[in-house]
Amino acid sequence: MREKLCLLVVLACAGMPAATINWNFAGNGGTLGQSTTFTSGGVTATVSAWGLTGSGNTRFAAGTLGQWSTGLGVCNASEGSSCGDPAHQVDNAAEVDFVLIRFSAPIDPISIVIDPYNSWDRDISYYTGNIASGNLAGLGLSDLSGLGFGAQQNSNSTVSSDARTVSLTSGYVNAILVAPSISNSDGSVDRFKFKSLSGDFQTPGNDVPEPSTFALMGAGLVAAGLMRRKQK
């Protein structure tokens, strides 16, 4: 009996689990402009296109998003707003393309799905963090930490035509910045469309017990104390 009461208290403290949300970026929208929005599970993801095309390819400049059946691609400023295949993929062929996703509420990113559409290398670099502004124009990679992003993280793979699911290491954040491999140490061009993203959303108040929960906790502790007295 005592063990059951203690278990009841633990369950009361645990609260409701977070809900997993999936944002699907695939479609046939064609050119979408510099940014667009996707809403799922009550959370809006604002997606924007960027590239390291400014000041000797070391500074961010706005690009253009495109949407295809395999996901989102980027035409960076050097490629033009209506670049063709394969330049309209998210790639590091000459300049490095980036996709920035900002969320209307903090989420814990779990994974992304990228689709190379034909056979390409599928290495990626990404940053997660809590940022106040989604304007990267004129910034360099070294400025991202001041914006609120954590350290660069990398996930390498192989050349293939298969879609790839990339598990992310994060925590609750309001933004994620995704690119093909920034260092491109193996020398192979990385290209992909950004197909989907999933993450956990903690509903407001789940982390703070309600008054009824506190009452249940108190009753459980009192009952556990009485059981101990009776056993003496």
pLDDT band with cut points at 50, 70 and 90 for residue 203: confident
Phi, psi for residue 61 in degrees, rounded to 5: -135, 150
- 227: in domain: no
Which amino acid is present at 32?
A: L
Higher pLDDT, 206 or 119: 119
- What is the average per-residue pLDDT within 37-63? 97
Please report, for the domain that includes residue 59, its CATH number: 2.60.120
- 34: in domain: yes
- 213: in domain: no
- 69: in domain: yes
- 75: in domain: yes
What is the 3-class SS of the chain, one letter each residue? Answer: CHHHHHHHHHHHHHCCCCEEEEEECCCCCEEEECEEEEEECCEEEEEEEEEEEECCCCEEEECEEEEECCEEEEECCCCCCCCCCCCCCEECCCCCEEEEEEEEEEEEEEEEEEECCCCEECCEEEEEECCCCCCCCCCCHHHHHHHCECCCEEECCCCECCCEEEECCCCCEEEEEEEECCCCCCCCCEEEEEEEEEEEECCCCCCCCCHHHHHHHHHHHHHHHHHHHHHC
CA neighbor of 112 nearest in space, from 67, 136, 122, 46? 122
Q: Model confidence over 132-188: pLDDT tens digits?
A: 999 999 999 999 999 999 999 999 999 999 999 999 999 999 999 999 999 998 999
Instruction: Residue 36: count other Cβ atoms within 10 Å of its Cβ.
Output: 16
- What is the average per-residue pLDDT within 201-207? 67
What is the count of structural domains for the chain? 1
- 96: in domain: yes
Asked if residue 9 has pLDDT above 50, the reply is no
Range of the domain at 139: 17-203
Model-wide pTM > 0.85 = no
Alpha carbons 10 and 14: distance in angstroms, whole number: 6
- 214: in domain: no
- 208: in domain: no
